[in-house]
Amino acid sequence: MKLQGKTVIVTGAAAGMGEAIAKKFAAEGAKVVATDINKETLDQVVNEITENGGEAIGLVSNIGKQEDVNEMVDLALEKYGSLDVLVNNAGIMDNFVPVGDLTDEQWNRIININLTGPFKAARAAINIMEKQENGGVIINNASIGGLFDARGGAAYVASKHGLLGLTKNIAATYGVHGKVRANAIAPGGVATNIQTTITDPHPLGSQAIGSIGGNTAPLGQSDEIAEVALFLASDASSFVNGTVITADGGWTAG
């Protein structure tokens, strides 16, 4: 029970990596506030957790809306009395659209969900965690698109680079001079439903990702990412702060 008694928020918890993280954390004793925009699948995840003896509550929430961010944090405090871990997992892809063809609407939507939302959630969490005796932990689920160039379209790659910068700044300030550690995970190809959002891949973006082996990259499973998240959330990583753990099966190793 590595997270016994800890209260955790997991965004994008209705499927994929978020679902796996929520279930893994609950199995390790955490009280989970699971959020997502999809009520039906979110309810299924929460029901499965509770049927297996875990503790969880679901909240239909859009990380891109300030009022929804406030609501999920308030719910954690009202229901469980603390907020010990925030997992910013929710994110969306961008069909590999390069800068020349990227619209303002596409840019704003990706940045809002993938970067501005996690910033707002982190801001709310930090202002609670800093007042707690044991502080807290923030885990940002980024992407190798935040470390390299063509692992997504322009908006996606920019959002994930920004998320890693946000993580490191939180770590350098609140992790070093306060009570909140922050780390990020940079997954490679993982079998999740985010792939279904790639509905109309841009030819140039697809060519770029294909040229760096995107079509033959190792494919991981959500449970494997959940294990990394568990380590970062637990006391086992107490001296880990401001780092990015790449979990891509070696895709970017060569």
State the pLDDT at residue 210.
87
| 156 is known as an active-site residue | yes
| Closest to 60 in 3D by CA, of 8, 112, 21, 14 | 14
Calculate the dihedral angle through the C-alpha atoms of 224, 43, 10, 122, rounding to the nearest 10 degrees. 150
Torsion sign, CA atoms 251, 165, 240, 63: negative
Residues 225-250 pLDDT 10s: 999 999 999 999 999 999 999 999 99
State the pLDDT at residue 98.
96
Torsion sign, CA atoms 195, 100, 161, 163: negative
Q: Which tokens is 102 given?
A: 């990227």
Residue 193 has pLDDT above 80, yes or no: no
Residues 16-52 pLDDT 10s: 999 999 999 999 999 999 999 999 999 999 999 999 9
Q: Mean pLDDT across the chain, nearest whole number?
A: 95
What pTM did the predictor assign? 0.95
- Which of 25, 96, 156, 251 is an active site residue? 156
State the pLDDT at residue 209.
83
For residue 133, the SS3 value is coil
State the pLDDT at residue 198.
80
Residues 84-128 pLDDT 10s: 999 999 999 999 999 999 999 999 999 999 999 999 999 999 999
State the pLDDT at residue 33.
98
Task: Looking at the structure, give the CATH architecture of the domain made up of residues 7-247.
Answer: 3-Layer(aba) Sandwich (3.40)
35: enclosing H helix or E strand? strand 31-36
Residue 64 has pLDDT above 90, yes or no: yes
State the pLDDT at residue 69.
98
Task: Confirm if 139 and 229 have CB atoms less than 8 A apart.
Answer: yes
Which residue has 């190809």 as its token pair? 189
Q: Which tokens is 210 given?
A: 């294909």
Angle, to 10 degrees, between the axis of helix 16-27 and the axis of helix 222-233? 50
Residues 127-160 pLDDT 10s: 999 999 999 999 999 999 999 988 899 999 999 9
